[in-house]
Chain A
Amino acid sequence: MSYEIPMGPYHPGLEEPYKLDMICEGETVKDAKLHIGFNFRGIEHLAETRNYIQVIALMERVCGICSFIHTLTLCQAMEKLTGLTPPPRAQYIRVIMGELERLHSHVLWAGIAAKLMGFKTMFMTCFEIREKVMDVLQEISGNRVNYAMNRIGGVNRDIEDPQLVLAMVEALEKEMTRTIIPIFTTSKTATSRCAGVGVLTTEKARSLGVVGPVARASGIGQDLRKEAPYAAYGEMDFTVPVVPDGDVRARLLVRALEIMESCKILRQALSKMPPGEIAPPGDGSKFSFVTGTAMARVEAPRGEVMYSVSWKEGARMPSRVHVRTPTYVNMPAVRFMVQGARLADTPLIQAAVDPCYSCTDR
């Protein structure tokens, strides 16, 4: 006999509010229905009532984890409409901030995945490491969540002490190779919860159009930092980790390897960062936009973020700001991942997508 289990919109296994109704037989999930929209705040509409300075601050509030990425994508779109190019140092600072954000997002995810496996000790370890990244972000920007780093044509703050970031990178790499990666990959109890669980085959992943680490864990080697480099990513030497297995363990492995690659990128960016200005001359309060729509894409920790910004010449406010977030693209895949899975594994399968409903519902 089948029965329906509601998971969410408020559930200890979920990071953010969404609902998954699972049709189960015994402990096996037969099918699932996804409901989203519990966190809708009308931010896109609000953006149409804000000027080009205010809209950056507004879009930073779309997400509490990848706030920098949102303003970066918006600013890149607005730079296309104003014809401004950020100075080289600003491009490097954008890379550094983007990678620091990726680090703290991936370590946060590892912690949540550990918590969902009931591995609270690993959760605490991950959050302790994340705290070090947050400290560095605070040191650079003065803030822990909304950094206010981006502006049209550059960044607001310089990185005055690269050694601070380098010291954190060293500590993080050490902790990752010494504790987190070995425990996640060799602990019998942890691997039994991850290996072969929530499989998304390469074909299915391609047909659903998933992005980011979810796609890379299903054998699709896509990463905008390589395929369509922005900021200073074109000058960085790094590899895109791809694992073909498509299960939770593969998603875990991809993110762990991405942490190592982020450390590599950070080292290069900090050592090669050119001197000079971080923003175009002037007080940054007056910009002239051309009429049109510009689009920018950035590789966020969860995958591709796309902003489409429309402007009318002479206007101070955008006529339309549209956002497409990676979670919106990835979540339909959850239905196929949970089919045939054990009920006990469903929180972890959902978490393996690293869903962000703050971004998706906005």
Chain B
Amino acid sequence: MNLLTALARLLIFPGILFAIPAAWFFLWVERKSVAMMQGRIGPPFMQPFYDFIKLLGKGTPPRTGIVGGLMRAWPLIAVSTAAGAVGLLPVLPSSGGFQGDLILLLALLEVPSICIIAAGFTSRSIFGEIGSAREAVLSVSYNVVFLLAIISVAASQHTFRLEALAQAPATPLRWVGILAILICLPAKLHLNPFSLPNAEQEIYSGPMVEFAGPELAMWELSHGLEWVAATGLVATLIAPQMAFWGLSALVFVALSFGIVLLLSALAAATARLAIDTTVRFYWQCTIIFAVLAVSSALFMRLRS
């Protein structure tokens, strides 16, 4: 039964069966909401799905001097890890068995970013390499805040188990952690003002420059899944506990949708920051959140 539940979580909800349509849906919400904020009509509802199918049907032009196997492998690894991360989210109550923990989720969320860095260098394009270097610098900068946030959330409940964290009541330290995660999400999802690794006006979209056809389709899908996983992580931490599983799923989707809208509004309202400004911003955040996290932890210790 435990195996069945685990498989159902991984393959049905919030796993692949839910995650892939949700990825297209979130990509559409982001594009549509940004378009509406900019006074444009935006894409039709099915556009991300059509884009995916269209790209799958296209061929890849010959690329001399590039290792084709690696070029195909990176997007596939990114898709599978992002889907795995979504499958780990404790949206529904579990009846035991393997549930995963925050550290595994964190690792899975980080793999697509590593794949992007590797893909840029594998492409052997100067624009891809610059994009990868930017992604690496960005990753090092925001991940310090992100890790701090995750540790704050875990420390607030004295556990790394996702299920326990989702069920635990909110504490000040946990809210500090959630806020820190929200600050990291635009960088993680390559949104403005931290969209510099894939800046098309500067470096032709950076690491993605040599990708086309099914490989690009996989990158798009992995990006969508990252949206679901990242917003879902925040949604599970914010969502109140529900007795009925259907209601839990509904609240999860609604909260994720709200976070997508929030991030889209931020992306629409800002320009792209340069790399040094971004790094400075995240290191300043690191100091602020480190102080907040330590003081919250001390406060909780004193109260208990």
A binding-site residues for B, Cβ under 8 Å:
3, 5, 11-13, 27, 114-122, 124-125, 128, 187, 189-190, 192-193, 342-347
Contact = CB atoms under 8 A, between A and B. Distances in A.
A344 B270 contact: no
A114 B270 CA distance: 10
Contacts of A343: 130, 202
Interface stretch (B34-42, B226-234, B236-244): B34-42
A13 B277 contact: no
A344 B192 contact: no
B7 to A, nearest CB: 42
B196 interface: yes
21 contacts: A3-B126, A5-B130, A12-B201, A13-B201, A13-B202, A117-B271, A118-B192, A118-B195, A118-B199, A120-B34, A124-B40, A125-B38, A187-B271, A189-B272, A189-B273, A193-B271, A343-B130, A343-B202, A344-B196, A344-B272, A346-B202
- Which one of B39, B192, B200, B272 has the greatest number of beta carbons of chain A within 10 Å? B272
B34 to A, nearest CB: 8
A341 B223 CA distance: 31
A193 B39 contact: no
Nearest to A346: B202
B193 interface: yes
Given A128-B39, A347-B201, A193 B272 contact: yes
Given A118-B201, A119-B270, A344 B38 contact: no
A187 B201 contact: no
Q: Main SS of chain A's interface residues?
A: helix
Interface residues of B, number: 27
Contacts of A119: 192, 270-272
Nearest to B280: A192
Contacts of B37: 121
Interface string B236-268: 000000000000000000000000000000001
A344 B199 contact: yes
Contacts of B271: 114, 117-119, 122, 187, 189-190, 192-193
Contacts of B193: 118, 189
A114 B192 CA distance: 13
Contacts of A124: 38-40
Interface string B16-46: 0000000000000000001001111000000
A12 B204 contact: yes
Contacts of A342: 274-276
B170 to A, nearest CB: 31
A189 B270 CA distance: 6
A346 B201 CA distance: 10
A122 B39 CA distance: 11
Nearest to B269: A121
Contacts of B277: 192
A344 B274 contact: yes
- Which one of A116, A124, A189, A193 has the greatest number of beta carbons of chain B within 10 Å? A189
A345 B272 CA distance: 11
Nearest to B205: A12
B42 to A, nearest CB: 12
What 5 A-B pairs are tightest by C-beta distance, nearest first?
Answer: A118-B272, A119-B271, A117-B271, A189-B271, A124-B38
Contact of A121 (B200, B268, B273): B268
A187 B270 contact: yes
Nearest to B40: A124
B97 to A, nearest CB: 45
A201 B286 CA distance: 37
B274 A193 contact: yes
Contacts of A11: 204
Given A121-B38, A346-B202, 4 more contacts: A27-B276, A120-B34, A121-B37, A343-B202
Nearest to A342: B274
Contacts of B192: 118-119, 189
Contacts of B270: 119, 187, 189
Given A118-B192, A118-B195, A121-B37, A12 B274 contact: no
B299 to A, nearest CB: 31
B274 A345 contact: yes
Contacts of B40: 124
Interface string B60-99: 0000000000000000000000000000000000000000
A82 to B, nearest CB: 47
Given A12-B200, A118-B192, A344-B199, A193 B275 contact: no
- Which one of A12, A116, A118, A346 has the greatest number of beta carbons of chain B within 10 Å? A118
A115 B37 CA distance: 15
Contacts of B268: 120-121
Contacts of A189: 192-193, 270-273
Interface string B265-304: 0001111111111000000000000000000000000000
Contacts of A128: 39
- Which one of B130, B195, B276 has the greatest number of beta carbons of chain A within 10 Å? B130
A341 B40 CA distance: 34
A192 B274 contact: yes
Nearest to A116: B201
Contacts of A120: 34, 38, 268
A27 B203 CA distance: 12
A345 B275 CA distance: 10
A337 to B, nearest CB: 16
A120 B277 CA distance: 20
